[in-house]
């Protein structure tokens, strides 16, 4: 009997332990990380994670993979994965926490996140790597300087080098006898004339928010000078100061007239650009990356010949000037330090040597890479390219010096205050509170 | 059977693996999350101990106040409406449609099996004002009214969310409550009818008391589900306009994963847990009192 009891106990123990091990094995299989995620620098593909809104960069990379970089692509095939821009930051944080970032990726919505990733050793040092690869001269020094100012080091690539300003429908302006605005008041007059003619004066994406907050920063840079937002970031001024609220109020006044159209908060990026390209809106504030949208003949109903550019106008009596052009490298793209190996290095070399020309050819996109072959440019792209070359000094954008929380709060509340649901004062106070809590 | 269940070792072998899995996948993350609320930082930067700073920060955070009020308002309105509508439908199935109710039940249950994002996109299109005018605004225009930006103000966006979630879930609660109603013994109903009880009296004194257990389960299901709402709101309004329709869950998610502040995010999660617990206890207690009265 004892023997039977002992056997039974043993069998129970074996079953129990067996089940526990099985459970643990299952859990380990569910939660474990594979070797490819451990950052050993042995990627199976040239994985590239980018925000789905960016339709400029993937076609250039695909074109390189098929043409100039086909050998590199055979060794390490390009695999593009997209994610909505609003979910990019959390995805990067989760992947970085597990050392599982892809080979290359969009480096986040805020310079602060780029700096955090860099400090954690996740980003490739391009100064050192490109020098080692012998292609550092393929990047324009002005672009490197802009990157170092914004991101604290040469840790992202200037796939785009953008200036921002207003794009306007030249045909409509000519038809209505509107002169190209050089001051804010002239722009308001132009909007009034367009509105009176039954044309929506401005097109903007309230869903994205940033096209609206950049109008606020543009106004503040022109009125208070190019250091207006640096003073806020340094704590020497607050967004709730009357002169700052005044900047937001000037933009809210445009919204109050209904000049951004109906349902501003629901308008996404593509809709905003398409509204302008279909001739339904007179002006669009956007970066020069929009040139690639303009080059799509199916969507651009008004045609490139009917599109002109003017910089953010002066505010009369203000301390800034229209020559201080908002410039940036778009949503920056970078490489993982953990996934880097010689095959990735080959890709990087090929990209550095060919990106400048390919970006112009494939997407009419001005980049911070040198153009190593002759490319024929359409007049509008040429104008922007010249403007980039001629820009004496640059300014940043509304959230450039803010952290993730203030950036998110600013962008999600922008449509509300421009639509008149909240006041300009409340908007600035909400963003300032977010800044204070960072 | 009794001998097996009386044997502690047998019980341990039978329950052990399930308890182990439950502990690993539920209890440990809950405790880890609780622990996070005492730290500052994230997976990239590492963590530093801050004591109860995150918990005290909850009191002064206006966004927490706004999200808390929205969450409670949403939970109370949706729980009341979806359980009431579900109960009404269940009564309709049992006492009016009777055997013919299966088709209606299936049709009304159908929305719950649809993906939330698809339903949210459909409602976005229904209530759209730009770039295209949705059917609801087309209707307003046909009636001679001005079209309305339903997602442009917090109040109208709130009611669109409620309407969408009600459409999605009422059929589910109707089926849940229907199972409780069909269990009421026919002879009790029959004798009440013979005693001359009116329909209202039958509902008041027989149907409600006898279906109280399933009604109570529905309320607890509903209150906990609505307090933790996330996907439908993210897909429909993403908390907008501004943050006017952002529940605690969305603020918690943004704080942890967008702002990289795991500790404060865990503190918001703790607040939500306490809230769910309080509501559940409240529902249990009030229901116990009602049953005694009945």
B258-293 residue pLDDT tens: 888 999 999 999 999 999 999 888 888 876 655 444
Could B43 and A94 be called an inter-chain contact, meaning their C-beta atoms sit closer than 8 Å?
yes
Could B240 and A415 be called an inter-chain contact, meaning their C-beta atoms sit closer than 8 Å?
yes
* Numbered residues of chain B with Cβ closer than 8 Å to any chain A Cβ: 9-10, 12-13, 16-17, 20-21, 24-25, 42-45, 61-62, 124, 128-131, 147, 149, 151-154, 238-244, 253-261
Could B260 and A98 be called an inter-chain contact, meaning their C-beta atoms sit closer than 8 Å?
no
Look up tokens 């996907």; give the residue. Answer: B231
pLDDT digits (tens, 9 = 90+) for B105-134: 889 999 999 999 999 999 999 999 988 899
Question: How far is Cα B83 from Cα B89, in angstroms, rounded to an integer?
Answer: 10
pLDDT given for residue A65 in this prediction:
97
Q: Please choose, from the candidates A38, A34, A37, A46, the residue with its C-alpha nearest in 3D space to the C-alpha of residue A342.
A: A46
CATH 3.40.190.10 residue ranges for chain A? 40-161+329-370, 165-327+395-437
Question: How far is Cα B36 from Cα B167, in angstroms, rounded to an integer?
Answer: 37
Question: If residue B49 lies in a helix (H) or strand (E), which one and from where to where?
Answer: strand B46-49
Q: Which residues of A360-391 are buried (b: 16+ CB within 10 A; e: fewer)?
A: bbbbbbbbbbbbeeeeebeebbebbbebbeeb
In a domain, B131, yes or no: yes
pLDDT digits (tens, 9 = 90+) for B135-147: 999 999 999 998 9
How close does chain A come to B70, measured CA to CA in Å?
17
For residue B256, what is the nearest residue in chain A, using CA coordinates?
Answer: A90
Of A20, A422, A433, which is closest to B17 when you measure between CB atoms? A20
Could A262 and B44 be called an inter-chain contact, meaning their C-beta atoms sit closer than 8 Å?
no
Of B10, B42, B258, which is closest to A408 when you measure between CB atoms? B258
Q: Please choose, from the candidates B98, B77, B70, B101, the residue with its C-alpha nearest in 3D space to the C-alpha of residue B272.
A: B70
C-beta separation of A213 from A414 below 8 A: yes
Question: How far is Cα A168 from Cα A310, in angstroms, rounded to an integer?
Answer: 8
The residues facing A373 across adjacent strands are none
pLDDT given for residue A40 in this prediction:
55
In a domain, B273, yes or no: yes
In a domain, B19, yes or no: no
- Overall pTM > 0.90: no
Of B153, B254, B261, which is closest to A421 when you measure between CB atoms? B153
In a domain, B175, yes or no: yes
A165-327+395-437 CATH, one of 1.20.1530.20, 3.30.40.10, 2.30.40.10, 3.40.190.10: 3.40.190.10
How close does chain A come to B229, measured CA to CA in Å?
18
pLDDT given for residue A392 in this prediction:
65
What tokens were used for A368? 């911070």
Could B25 and A27 be called an inter-chain contact, meaning their C-beta atoms sit closer than 8 Å?
yes
Look up tokens 């780029």; give the residue. Answer: A114
> Which domain, by its residues, includes B167?
57-293
How close does chain B come to A302, measured CA to CA in Å?
18
Q: Regarding beta strands A324-328 and A393-395, do their DSSP bridges make them parallel or antiparallel, or are they unpaired?
A: parallel
Could B24 and A403 be called an inter-chain contact, meaning their C-beta atoms sit closer than 8 Å?
no
Q: Please choose, from the candidates A34, A74, A29, A78, the residue with its C-alpha nearest in 3D space to the C-alpha of residue A57.
A: A78
Question: How far is Cα A314 from Cα A174, in angstroms, rounded to an integer?
Answer: 22
The number of domains in chain B is 1
Q: Which residues of B touch A96 (CB under 8 A)?
A: 43-44
Q: Please choose, from the candidates B47, B260, B264, B37, the residue with its C-alpha nearest in 3D space to the C-alpha of residue A115.
A: B260
List the CATH number of the domain containing B82: 1.10.3720.10
pLDDT given for residue A373 in this prediction:
85
In a domain, B27, yes or no: no
Per-residue pLDDT of chain A (438 residues; tens, 9 = 90+): 344 444 444 444 444 444 443 433 333 333 333 333 334 578 999 999 999 988 889 999 999 999 999 999 999 999 999 998 878 988 998 899 888 999 999 998 888 889 999 999 999 999 999 999 999 999 988 788 889 888 989 999 999 988 899 999 999 999 999 999 999 999 999 999 999 999 999 999 999 999 999 999 999 999 999 999 999 999 999 999 999 999 999 999 999 999 999 999 999 999 999 999 999 999 999 999 899 899 888 999 999 999 999 999 999 999 999 888 888 888 899 999 999 999 999 999 999 999 999 999 898 888 989 888 888 888 888 888 877 777 667 788 999 999 888 999 999 999 999 999 899 999 999 999 999 988
Question: How far is Cα A352 from Cα A367, in angstroms, rounded to an integer?
Answer: 11
Could A421 and B13 be called an inter-chain contact, meaning their C-beta atoms sit closer than 8 Å?
no
What tokens were used for B130? 């730009």
Could A16 and B17 be called an inter-chain contact, meaning their C-beta atoms sit closer than 8 Å?
yes
Scanning A269-328 for CB atoms below 8 A from B yields 271, 274-275
**Mind giving me the DSSP string for A248-302?**
HHHHHHHHHTTTT-S-GGG--HHHHHHHHHTTSEEEEEEEGGGHHHHT-TTT-SS
Mean pLDDT of chain B: 90
Question: How far is Cα A153 from Cα A130, in angstroms, rounded to an integer?
Answer: 14
**Mind giving me the DSSP string for B66-107?**
HHHHHHHHHHHHHHHHHHHHHHHHHHIIIIIIGGGHHHHHHH
CATH architecture of A40-161+329-370: 3-Layer(aba) Sandwich (3.40)
pLDDT given for residue A6 in this prediction:
42
In a domain, B7, yes or no: no
**Mind giving me the DSSP string for A160-187?**
--EEEEEEEEHHHHHHTTPPPP-BHHHH
Coil vs helix vs strand at A310: strand
pLDDT over 60 (residue B149): yes
pLDDT over 80 (residue B294): no
Look up residue A305 and give its DSSP letter.
G
The residues facing A283 across adjacent strands are A168, A202
Q: Which residues of B touch A412 (CB under 8 A)?
A: 238-240, 242-243
């Amino acid at each position: 009997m004892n023997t039977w009891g002992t056997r039974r106990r043993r069998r129970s123990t074996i079953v129990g332990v067996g089940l526990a091990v099985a459970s643990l094995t299952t859990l380990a299989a569910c939660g474990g990380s594979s070797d490819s995620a451990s950052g050993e620098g042995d990627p199976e593909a040239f994985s590239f994670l980018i925000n789905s809104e960016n339709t400029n960069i993937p076609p250039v990379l695909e074109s390189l993979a098929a043409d100039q970089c086909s050998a590199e692509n055979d060794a390490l095939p390009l695999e593009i994965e997209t994610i909505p821009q609003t979910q990019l930051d959390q995805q990067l944080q989760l992947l970085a926490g597990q050392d599982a970032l892809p080979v290359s990726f969009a480096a986040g919505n805020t310079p602060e996140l780029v700096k955090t990733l860099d400090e954690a050793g996740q980003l490739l040092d391009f100064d050192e790597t490109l020098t080692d690869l012998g292609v550092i001269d393929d990047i324009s020094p002005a672009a490197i300087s802009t990157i170092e100012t914004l991101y604290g080091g040469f840790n992202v690539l200037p796939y785009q080098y953008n200036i921002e300003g207003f794009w306007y429908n030249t045909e409509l302006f000519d038809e209505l006898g509107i002169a190209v605005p050089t001051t804010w008041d002239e722009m308001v007059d132009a909007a009034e004339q367009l509105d009176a003619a039954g044309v929506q004066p401005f097109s903007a994406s309230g869903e994205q928010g940033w096209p609206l907050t950049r109008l606020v920063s543009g106004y503040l840079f022109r009125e208070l000078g190019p250091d207006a937002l640096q003073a806020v970031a340094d704590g020497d001024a607050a967004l709730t100061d009357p002169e700052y609220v005044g900047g937001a109020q000037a933009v809210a006044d445009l919204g109050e007239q209904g000049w951004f159209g109906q349902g501003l908060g629901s308008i996404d990026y593509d809709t905003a650009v398409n509204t302008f390209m279909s001739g339904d809106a007179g002006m669009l504030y956007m970066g020069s990356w929009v040139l690639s949208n303009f080059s799509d003949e199916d969507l651009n109903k008004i045609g490139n010949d009917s599109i002109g550019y003017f910089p953010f106008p002066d505010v009369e009596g203000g301390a800034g000037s229209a020559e201080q052009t908002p410039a940036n490298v778009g949503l920056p793209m970078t490489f993982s330090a953990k996934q880097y190996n010689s095959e990735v290095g080959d890709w990087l070399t090929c990209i550095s040597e060919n990106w400048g020309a390919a970006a112009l050819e494939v997407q009419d996109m001005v980049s911070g890479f040198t153009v190593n072959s002759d490319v024929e440019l359409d007049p509008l792209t040429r104008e922007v390219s010249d403007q980039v070359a001629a820009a004496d000094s640059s300014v940043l954008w509304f959230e450039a010096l803010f952290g993730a929380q203030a950036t998110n709060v600013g962008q999600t509340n922008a449509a509300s205050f421009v639509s008149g649901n909240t006041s300009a004062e409340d908007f600035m106070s909400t963003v300032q509170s977010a800044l204070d809590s960072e | 059977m009794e001998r097996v269940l009386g044997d502690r070792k047998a019980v341990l072998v039978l329950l052990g693996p399930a308890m182990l899995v439950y502990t690993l996948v539920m209890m440990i993350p809950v405790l880890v999350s609780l622990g996070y609320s005492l730290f500052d930082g994230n997976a990239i930067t590492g963590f530093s101990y801050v004591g109860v700073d995150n918990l005290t920060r909850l009191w002064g955070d206006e966004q927490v106040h706004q999200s808390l009020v929205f969450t409670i308002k949403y939970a109370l309105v949706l729980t009341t409406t979806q359980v009431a509508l579900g109960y009404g439908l269940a009564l309709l199935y049992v006492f009016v449609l009777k055997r013919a109710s299966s088709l209606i039940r299936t049709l009304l249950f159908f929305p719950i099996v649809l993906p939330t994002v698809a339903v949210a996109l459909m409602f976005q299109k229904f209530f759209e004002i730009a770039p295209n005018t949705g059917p609801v605004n087309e209707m307003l225009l046909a009636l001679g009214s001005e079209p309305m930006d339903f997602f442009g103000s917090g109040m109208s966006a709130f009611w669109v969310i409620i309407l969408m979630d009600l459409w999605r879930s009422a059929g589910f609660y109707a089926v849940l409550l229907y199972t409780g109603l069909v269990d009421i013994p026919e002879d009790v109903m029959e004798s009440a009818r013979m005693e001359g009880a009116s329909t209202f009296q039958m509902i008041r004194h027989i149907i409600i008391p006898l279906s109280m257990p399933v009604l109570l389960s529905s309320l607890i299901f509903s209150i906990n589900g609505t307090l933790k709402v996330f996907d439908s709101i993210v897909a429909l309004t993403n908390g907008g306009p501004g943050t006017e329709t952002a529940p605690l869950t969305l603020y918690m998610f943004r704080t942890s994963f967008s702002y990289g502040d795991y500790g404060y995010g865990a503190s918001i999660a703790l607040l939500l847990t306490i809230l769910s617990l309080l509501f559940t206890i409240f529902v249990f207690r009030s229901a116990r009192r009602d049953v005694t009265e009945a």
